[in-house]
Amino acid sequence: MTPNTDYGGHPPPQQIGLVLAGGMLSLPTDASWIAPDRPAYQCRQCGWLLPDLCFRRDHRRRGTTATRGRFHSRCVVCEQENNDAYKRAHRYEIRARAVLGEHRRKERRQGLHGCETAAEYETLTGINVEYLANKMRRTYERPEAECPHCRARWSEMPNGLSDMSVDRRDRSSLLTRENLVLLCRTGNNQKGTLNPRTWEVRQALWRLKRGTGDMRVPPNDSFEAP
């Protein structure tokens, strides 16, 4: 067999098989040639025989005397594929948990609560990861659903679910089910730097530009520029 130069003079990895009872019994692919000077181990998930450099070190087992125990049992590719699959399947839960953590820390700095743990905060506010994830899912997956700030559809936002953020209608109060609104991240950031009157005027501008909703702005005799 002529070596394949695309693999640095080594033959490409071959899947070895044995015919057994009319079927194919697959044996591990030997790809240890990509670093022949390194010890090789078999990935528990894909079954490939790979150099140790293809496995992440398990720092939790730093004191072990077993050579194999220094590495994770799955290669870096299988681990990444597993992580990506988990994120796709639980993206709303992951986003909700991150958002609740941000609000818990922010509101604690404001002096609105003294909760030490996420469980205490969820009990106090009545909002847990499951509730918020379901609310995000129902809103984001409705094709006609729009951000109340910019009137753009959630499904058309360039950064996907990352563009969805949680805002408190009244920022001097705790996040609760009644004090919660989903805004795009840009609108949420802008609201935090504007006085209420300026915010209302700019909201009206967005509605005017998009051609949706009530164009009127609540009167305010004490208007101040930002």
Give the pair of three-digit tokens for residue 80: 């990444």
Give which of 50, 16, 45, 57 is closest to 34, Cα–Cα. 50
Sign of CA dihedral 121, 127, 131, 135: negative
pTM score of the predicted model: 0.69
Q: How far is CA 146 from the centre of its chain?
A: 21
- pLDDT of 61-109, one tens digit each? 555 444 445 889 999 999 999 999 999 999 999 999 999 999 999 999 9
Both structure tokens of 17: 């098989």
Q: How many separate domains does the chain show?
A: 1
DSSP code of residue 186: H
The tens digit of pLDDT for each residue in 117-173 reads 999 999 999 999 999 999 999 999 998 898 988 888 998 898 888 899 999 988 889
Give the domain range for residue 98: 91-210
What CATH number does residue 114 fall under? 3.30.40
Asked whether residue 51 is domain-assigned, the answer is: no
3-class state of residue 174 by DSSP: coil
Averaged confidence pLDDT in the chain:
80
- Tell me which long-range contacts 3-12 makes (C-beta under 8 A, separation of at least 24): 7/33, 10/34
Contact 13, 26 (CB under 8 A): no
Residue 64 lies in a domain: no
Q: Is residue 194 part of a domain?
A: yes
The verdict on residue 20 lying in a domain is: no
- Whether 29 is in a domain gets the answer no
The answer to the question of residue 115 being in a domain is: yes
SS3 184: strand
The answer to whether 133 and 93 have CB atoms below 8 angstroms apart is yes
Residue 121 lies in a domain: yes
Tell me the three state secondary structure of residue 50.
strand
Whether residue 124 is contained in a domain is answered as yes
